[in-house]
Structure 1
Amino acid sequence: MPLILPIGYLVALKRKEEKWYFERFGFILFNKKPEKTIWIHCASVGEVLSVKSLIEKIKKEMPDYDIALSTVTATGKDVATKNLNADFIFLLPLENYFAIKYLTSYLNTKYFLIIDTELWPNLIFAAQKNAKLILVNGRLSERSYPKYKLFKPIFKKLLNSFEHIFAKSKTDAERLADILDNKDKISDIGNIKVVNIESPKSNFDLNGKIFLAASTHQGEETFIKDIFEKVSDKFDHLVLAPRHLNRVEEVFTIFSESFETSLLSEGRQTKVIIVDSFGILKNLYSCAEKVFVGGSITNVGGHNIYEALIFKKVVAVGKHMQNFTEIFELAQKYNLVFTVESEANMIQYLNTEKFENADFEGFIAEAKAIAEKPINEIVNFLKNENTDSNTI
């Protein structure tokens, strides 16, 4: 710890994250001591945004609870502060058993919700000392499943610490039940990341015909560059948003060899623009003519295409969309995704002026019909647990 503290602080200083650095070690200031809380833990930005509707529902149905929200990343905390109605927002003291145990006691945490399968052993074992653990959006990917089976005794113990597991799909529920050797505490309720249906709004100012490549990973940028060299005359701008901002310089170098390239923060209208800040994809989706969502050609498992779809954009993705099977299959049903497996496929997508069979109205209607199901089930579970606790 004495070694990590100063080295880590220098890294945080370089990233301009030093303001909240010591929260990672449990040094957190609260403006009040709550009577009781529901603590929700999110890894980063995607998970943070996915719990907005859940927090609103808890606030409405269980108003006597304060909401505490922790994140792993400083960016996640910043997005949470700007977008969520939580009472306490802070960085998670990562794998610090004593800090977590103290915080759950101080905050009088009754329920500790972990979003996605974030199985940090010290976090889990410390939190369960004072709170009931609930896993939300539980998932076990095809790639991770064999590793979990290989170390089944360890993961079984971790999963068994949860009062209940809400899986994001039937397949995930079956895999988790196999590791746990118990399906009674697992429910397949769907993906909570497909719940926020809002009217598209944008204040983004970028002129011309735009091709947006969002949430790209290493290897996908080179693929996009090769494509864009063949179709650049059809677009005024290629806007590319790498999934990880620490790769901005690398991505800039890839494109600047062939095109006039700038960073979005510079405010220049160059042929290629590299996004170097978080939180603006919604604005980019609203003004883009064509959209590719990454993590799907490189086998990462894909990223959420939902936000682009509600802006009524037919989205291009690779074949690796296993992390978002439900929304991907729903979009396929209404002809709203174009699966890319080669350069020729992508060029075909970019050259298509209009997708005649795209049914956005049908998609949005069905999405609205299923949107509230997972949120309602989670909150009803919490309310029933709360009633049982009060009875006891």
Structure 2
Amino acid sequence: MLLLYNFGIALYRMIIYIASFFNLKAELFLNGRKNIFNVIEKQIDTKQKHVWFHFASLGEFEQGRTVLEELKKNYPQKKIVVTFFSPSGYEIRKNYAIADGVFYLPLDTKSNAKKLIDLIQPEIAIFTKYEFWYHYFQLLQERKIPLLIISGIFRPGQLFFKWYGGFYRSMLNCVTHFFVQNTESVELLQGLNFKNVSLSGDTRFDRVAENVLTVKHLPLIEEFCGKAPVFIAGSTWPQDEQLVTALIAAYPQWKFIIAPHEIGPAHIDQLLKLVPGALRYTQLNTKSPQPDSQVMVIDNIGLLSSIYQYGRVVYIGGGFGVSIHNTLEAAAFGLPVIFGPKYDKFQEAKDLLSLNAAITISSMAELSAAFKKLQKDTNAGPAAKKYVQDKTGATKQVLTYLEQYI
């Protein structure tokens, strides 16, 4: 099985290489790993021990960020290294000031694992939610370096829990402690005789709750919204946008803010064709009045979590693709949420639905009905906010555990 795994890693690299000729993310993925060990050696003190945080992408970074920042606040002398698997995480957070180094994770080969761990000398490794890499995990265990999974979530369909999943279960054996989001994950791991499991909840709740308290005001957004009620469509994909833009003409008294997941020029141009006359955020001028418009398109990254403060109802994209994006950032502001049919991987989405703080839709008619319902519902927003507040505390639990090592 290890031979097949190694072949899969090599094949993945070949596919990325071919894709890099016509795909920007693949190009960034490949170029970011060129001479990576020389880059690491120049940027950090390789004679120092580091706390190693690894994140798959930007979402996982935001999820584990509270643990990282609280750890640094409590132990300012500690050196921290952050790695990302995906360009969408690395490219946005590569200048993250709290870390002593931010790098792409080299692909999981035995030699890469040895080189990276030799250079960063982790005293502890903290992986968020998922990402299970055989060679990295085996070497951490071999060197007796504690490995934590925080905000972990497990499902019965994963390979760990199949009769033929022994190879993948061997990676779980390398984990010192699991901090998981729900009781199902606890039960699945205990079913494999893992006792090193804590039901901590999700550190994202701490992050989004903190964001509400420290949110930055956005004067251009405030000016656009005025006193109108605002519908926010966050992290949208084309199929989401087809549905959302069909609402605009029917609700002239509402303002609409659309923040697409992909902000490349081609996609922004496609979106603007759907809504002629929409404002582009990056083309607004603070010195001149905004032209009157019902719609604003957010064509840069990093604003969405602050934009939610201006909303009344929120639509979260992704539910017609792989899966929905982050619902908690909106819920933390007390906003009812609408999303597409693919949400089963996210416990918080299921919870919000059970609390009547969210509605899932699969058609234009259902979106229209959900929007009408939530305009009148005075309980959905407060229920969403209370849900977030009640679920905070995972960060403190993880940090308390870390004290024995840090």
Give the structure-1-normalised TM-score. Answer: 0.79
Give the structure 2 partner of residue 30 of structure 1: 43
Candidates 349, 353, 357, aligned match of 1:336 = 357
Q: Relative to structure 2, which stretch is displaced further, 305-314 or 215-224?
A: 215-224
Q: Provide, for residues 16-63 of structure 1, a one-character-per-residue CA deviation record: whole Å limited to 9, x for no partner.
A: 959972467433232434532210100111111122210133224445
- For 2:386 and 2:322, how far apart are their aligned partners in 1? 29
Candidates 166, 169, 189, aligned match of 2:182 = 169
Q: Relative to structure 2, which stretch is displaced further, 194-203 or 123-132?
A: 123-132
Give the structure 2 partner of residue 193 of structure 1: 204
Q: Contact (CA 8 Å) 1:20, 1:91: kept in 2 or not?
A: no
Candidates 218, 231, 250, aligned match of 1:203 = 218
- For 1:103 and 1:93, how far apart are their aligned partners in 2? 8
1:382 to partner: Cα distance: 2.3
- For 2:78 and 2:339, how far apart are their aligned partners in 1? 41
SS in 2 for 1:98: helix
Q: Does 1:77 align with 2:100?
A: no
Candidates 48, 53, 72, aligned match of 1:40 = 53
Give the structure 2 partner of residue 310 of structure 1: 332
- Give the letter for the 1:346 counterpart: L
Q: Contact (CA 8 Å) 1:114, 1:133: kept in 2 or not?
A: yes
Candidates 344, 347, 350, aligned match of 2:368 = 347
Q: Provide, for residues 105-146 of structure 1, a one-character-per-residue CA deviation record: whole Å limited to 9, x for no partner.
A: 23221211111211222332344444222222222346x436
> Any residues of structure 2 matched to 1:169-248 within 5 Å, and which?
169-178=182-191, 181-196=192-207, 197-198=209-210, 199=213, 200-203=215-218, 205-206=220-221, 207-208=224-225, 209=228, 210-217=230-237, 219-225=239-245, 227-228=246-247, 231=250, 233-236=252-255, 238-245=256-263
Cα separation, partners in 2 of 1:18 and 1:161, compared to 1, 3 Å: closer
1:80 to partner: Cα distance: 3.2
- For 2:402 and 2:309, how far apart are their aligned partners in 1? 36
1:307 to partner: Cα distance: 1.3
Q: Does 1:285 align with 2:304?
A: no
- For 2:364 and 2:23, how far apart are their aligned partners in 1? 40
1:293 to partner: Cα distance: 0.8
Q: Contact (CA 8 Å) 2:154, 2:185: kept in 1 or not?
A: yes
1:329 to partner: Cα distance: 1.7
- Alignment identity in percent? 20
Structure 1: unaligned runs, 5 residues or longer: 387-392
Cα separation, partners in 2 of 1:370 and 1:65, compared to 1, 3 Å: same
Candidates 153, 162, 173, aligned match of 1:139 = 153
Q: Provide, for residues 151-208 of structure 1, a one-character-per-residue CA deviation record: whole Å limited to 9, x for no partner.
A: 4112111211212222221112333444xx2231222211111112232332151314
Cα separation, partners in 2 of 1:220 and 1:368, compared to 1, 3 Å: closer
Q: Does 1:256 align with 2:267?
A: no
Cα separation, partners in 2 of 1:204 and 1:327, compared to 1, 3 Å: farther
SS in 2 for 1:172: helix
- Give the letter for the 1:92 counterpart: L
Give the structure-2-normalised TM-score. Answer: 0.77
SS in 2 for 1:140: coil
Q: Relative to structure 2, which stretch is displaced further, 23-32 or 36-45?
A: 23-32
Cα separation, partners in 2 of 1:343 and 1:75, compared to 1, 3 Å: closer
Q: Contact (CA 8 Å) 2:359, 2:370: kept in 1 or not?
A: yes
Q: Contact (CA 8 Å) 1:23, 1:93: kept in 2 or not?
A: no
Structure 2: unaligned runs, 5 residues or longer: 1-9, 285-289
- Give the letter for the 1:249 counterpart: A
| Root-mean-square deviation (Å) | 3.7
Q: Contact (CA 8 Å) 1:39, 1:69: kept in 2 or not?
A: yes
SS in 1 for 2:231: strand
- For 1:250 and 1:79, how far apart are their aligned partners in 2? 19
Cα separation, partners in 2 of 1:211 and 1:34, compared to 1, 3 Å: farther
- For 1:84 and 1:148, how far apart are their aligned partners in 2? 39
Displacement over 6 Å in runs of 4+: 1-16
- For 2:376 and 2:72, how far apart are their aligned partners in 1? 43
Cα separation, partners in 2 of 1:110 and 1:279, compared to 1, 3 Å: same
Q: Does 1:121 align with 2:139?
A: no
Q: Provide, for residues 230-285 of structure 1, a one-character-per-residue CA deviation record: whole Å limited to 9, x for no partner.
A: 6253434x433333446x63574366156445654344866555443321112322
- For 1:281 and 1:14, how far apart are their aligned partners in 2? 21
- For 1:363 and 1:254, how far apart are their aligned partners in 2? 29
Q: Contact (CA 8 Å) 2:331, 2:381: kept in 1 or not?
A: no
